[in-house]
Amino acid sequence: MSDLKDVILEYVQEEYLEDDDDIEVTYDTPLISGGIVDSFSMVSLKRFLETRYNIQIPDSKATPQAFDTVNNIIKLMKEFGIE
Amino acid sequence: MAFSEAHRNIFQTELNGLKEQGLFKEERIICAPQSSEIEVSFPFGAEEKRVINMCANNYLGLSSHPDVVEAARKGLDHRGYGMSSVRFICGTQDIHKQLEQKLTEFLGTEDTILFPSCMDANCGVFEAVLTDQDVMIADRLVHASIVDGMRLAKAQQDTYKHSDMEHLEKKLELHQDKRLKVIITDGNFSMDGDLAKLDKIVELAEKYNALVFMDDSHASGFIGKTGRGTHEHCNVIGKVDIITTTLGKALGGASGGCVSGRRELVEMCRQKARPYLFSNTIAPVVVEGALAVLDLISRSTERRDKLEKNTEFWRKGLTEGGLIIKEGETPIVPVMLFNAKLAQDFAKDLYEMGIYAIGFFFPVVPKGQARIRTQLSAAHDMHHLEKALDAFLKVGKKHNILHKTKQEIIDMYGQ
């Protein structure tokens, strides 16, 4: 199974970057505060994680801070036993 | 005094911050009716200067048309200045109902409800129609008023990449379980001047049992063979479930907007849309002016045809002259400069030469995509456009960007 970090990074790149974007996204790139992911579009990332890992992330935990970098998302996923 | 120096300083610091970041907006003072040539005082108090206006939403040149002004005057005489009421208490006159009916006929829908503005229509419609069992799937470049309207609604929010139909289809698959799925798009995207792939959107909506919402503010009156809008251009009249549009651009340019579409959805807005319920009715003078506009453009396509010719001339002239524009066919023509300072300097030089156009840069457009957005009008005559084109090319030459690629401009000026 792919490494969780890479699964998330790949999803972010495919979902949020346009073909002509020359932005490099790393594990620490600010996604929401950096303007790559807007608050609406965050929903699809949440839904992707919930479906793929069969979990429910409550809205109280799905904050812009928790989703701001791939590394932050990894920390959040640990709370659900996903590593 | 409650508003102390300390209070004042909080806001002054924030305002100073906007100035430092180059985000502080200043109004140009127009000392004439809206038209292709206007008198401008900028900065405020400076001597008035006569300039060619290349940045108004006055697409059909009807903002100061004598028939429209005369109709507005008639409205003032016959139905008064204001109604001092919201619509459902004592603010609905016969002319409000006539205008709703005329808009329904013009847009080819089932029913229409007027709002004080299209911003209000967009802010009210989603909350009125949708619940938490539904999902709104919006193009990522929709207008800010739609974003605000989505924020006010309880339905789940999602987005798809700009005009990317494969991505939209993925999202429709993802949200199959929702009671209602609403695809949300602009008709003509205001910053890039490109049209939504509305025929494809309607096809996907039919495949996935979704509804279609379109804000056609930058299209109503001139896109499509008879100016009905993007749905006419894409041959899907009657298949868009909700259309919002404005009376504040091509359709007279005063104010007001509407939600037009399926009868039941319009009725939901009449019952529940907060900007409709809690905001004053549109003034009679504006209603009569808008009725005259619809009458004018239903009788003849002369003005939208002239606009189309102006657009062709302008797009061809800029491209052949060596400037980079966003390709398309609409009268919104962005001249791409990529660098924010270059866009500001370019606009300043144009103004010196008697051409009024504005530079747009982050956060209004994405970083690295600074531009001057030009907008054509049926009020422009060929001599206006020739003079404007000459100025654009001279300023382009001054900044050494003619016949340069995007990369070459970025290498010279940065992103």
Q: Are residues B323 and B241 in the same domain?
A: no
Give the pLDDT score at A23.
76
Check CB contact of A35 with chain B, cutoff 8 Å: yes
B150 with A40: Cβ contact below 8 A: yes
Interface test with B, best of A15, A43, A49, A52 (most B CBs within 10 A): A43
* Active site (annotated) includes residue B190: yes
Domain stops at, among B252, B270, B299: B299
Asked if A38 is an interface residue toward chain B (Cβ–Cβ < 8 A), one would say yes
Q: Which residues of A touch B147 (CB under 8 A)?
A: 40
Task: Please report the pLDDT score of residue B260 as a whole number.
Answer: 98
**B2 within a domain of the structure (yes/no):** no
Residues of B in contact with A38 (CB under 8 A): 140, 159
- What pLDDT, on the 0 to 100 scale, is given for residue B219? 98
Distance (Å) from the C-alpha of residue B252 to the closest C-alpha of chain A? 34
Q: What pLDDT, on a 0 to 100 scale, did the predictor assign at position A2? A: 64
What pLDDT does residue B289 have?
98
Residues B375, B331 contacting (CB under 8 angstroms): yes
CATH number for B385: 3.90.1150.10
**Chain A contact probe: residue of B146, B148, B157 with most A CBs at under 10 A:** B157
Shared-domain flag, residues B201 and B290? yes
B218 catalytic? Reply is: yes
On whether both B244 and B310 belong to a single domain, the answer is no
This complex has an ipTM of: 0.76
B262 close to B205: Cβ distance less than 8 angstroms: no
Residues contacting residue B118 through CB under 8 Å, at least 6 positions apart: B145, B215, B217, B244, B245, B246, B248, B257, B258
Residues B285 and B366 in one domain: no
- Number of compact structural domains in chain A: 1
How near does any CA of chain B get to the CA of A68, in Å? 17
What average pLDDT does this structure show over A74-82? 91
How far B159 CA lies from chain A's nearest CA (Å)? 5
Token readout for B387 is: 């003079």
A41 contact residues in B (CB cutoff 8 A): 140, 158-159
Per CB-CB distance under 8 Å, the chain A contacts of B174 are: 44, 47
A71 CA: distance to closest CA in chain B (Å): 23
Q: Is residue B108 domain-shared with residue B194, that is, in the same domain? A: yes
> Which pLDDT value is given to residue A1?
47
- Distance (Å, whole) CA B210 – CA B181: 5
Q: Identify residues of B whose CB sits under 8 angstroms from chain A CBs.
A: 138, 140, 147, 150, 156-159, 161-162, 171, 174, 367
Quick one: B92 and B220 in the same domain?
yes
Containing structural domain, residue B307: 24-53+302-413
**pLDDT value for B157:** 92
CA nearest B188: which of B346, B311, B27, B336?
B311
For B74, B277, B283, B284, B286, the CA distances from B81, given in Å and listed in that order, are 11, 20, 7, 6, 10
B383 counts as catalytic: no
* Cα–Cα nearest to B114, from B130, B129, B103, B105: B103
Q: Specify the CATH number for the domain of residue A66.
A: 1.10.1200.10
Cross-chain CB nearest to A40 (options B158, B174, B367):
B158
B342 with B396, same domain? Answer: yes
Kindly state whether residues B212 and B315 are assigned to the same domain: no
In a domain, residue B17? The reply is no
CATH number where B89 lies:
3.40.640.10
Looking at the domain assignment, is residue B61 inside a domain? no
Tell me: do B310 and B294 sit in the same domain. no
Does A63 lie at the interface with B, CB-CB under 8 angstroms?
A: no
Q: What chain B residue is nearest to A59 in terms of C-alpha separation?
A: B156
Return per-residue pLDDT of chain B as tens, 415 residues: 799 999 999 999 999 998 888 778 888 899 999 999 999 998 888 899 999 999 999 999 999 999 999 999 999 999 999 999 999 999 999 999 999 999 999 999 999 999 999 999 999 999 999 999 999 999 999 999 999 999 999 999 999 999 999 999 999 998 999 999 999 999 999 999 999 999 999 999 999 999 999 999 999 999 999 999 999 999 999 999 999 999 999 999 999 999 999 999 999 999 999 999 999 999 999 999 999 999 999 999 999 999 999 999 999 999 999 999 999 999 999 999 999 999 999 999 999 999 999 999 887 887 789 999 999 999 999 999 999 999 999 999 999 999 999 999 999 998 7
Distance from the Cα of A40 to chain B's closest Cα (Å) equals: 5
Tell how strand B242-246 and strand B211-215 pair up. parallel
**What angle, 0 to 180 degrees and rounded to 10, lies between the N-to-C axes of helices B198-207 and B165-174?**
20
From B276, B299, B322, the end of a domain falls on B299
Long-range contact set of residues B97-105: C-beta below 8 Å, sequence gap at least 24: B98/B287, B98/B291, B99/B287, B99/B290, B99/B291, B99/B294, B100/B258, B102/B291, B102/B294, B103/B258, B103/B260, B103/B294, B104/B260
The answer as to whether B239 is a domain residue is yes
Q: Which domain holds residue A71?
A: 4-79
Closest CA to B387 of B357, B359, B360: B357
CA distance B137 to chain A (A): 9
Token pair 């109709």: residue:
B71
User: Count of domains in chain B?
Assistant: 2
Note whether A33 contacts B: Cβ–Cβ < 8 A: no
State whether B183 and B292 are in the same domain: yes
> Are B374 and B310 contacting, i.e. CB atoms less than 8 angstroms apart?
no
Active-site position among B249, B306, B380, B384: B249
Note whether B336 and B244 are same-domain residues.
no
The pLDDT score that the predictor gives to residue B42 is 85
Which of B138, B174, B367 lies at the smallest CB-CB distance from A40? B138
Can you tell me which residue has the tokens 């999202």?
A: B171
Chain B CB contacts of A47 below 8 Å: 158, 174
Whole-model pTM: value is: 0.92
Does the beta-carbon distance from A40 to B174 stay under 8 Å?
A: no
Residues B368, B344 share a domain: yes
Q: Which of B141, B158, B362 should one mutate to test binding to chain A, selecting the residue with the greatest count of A CBs within 10 A?
A: B158
Q: What is the pLDDT of residues A27-65, one digit of tens each?
A: 999 998 887 888 778 888 888 899 889 999 998 898 989
Candidates B147, B156, B367; nearest CB to A43: B156
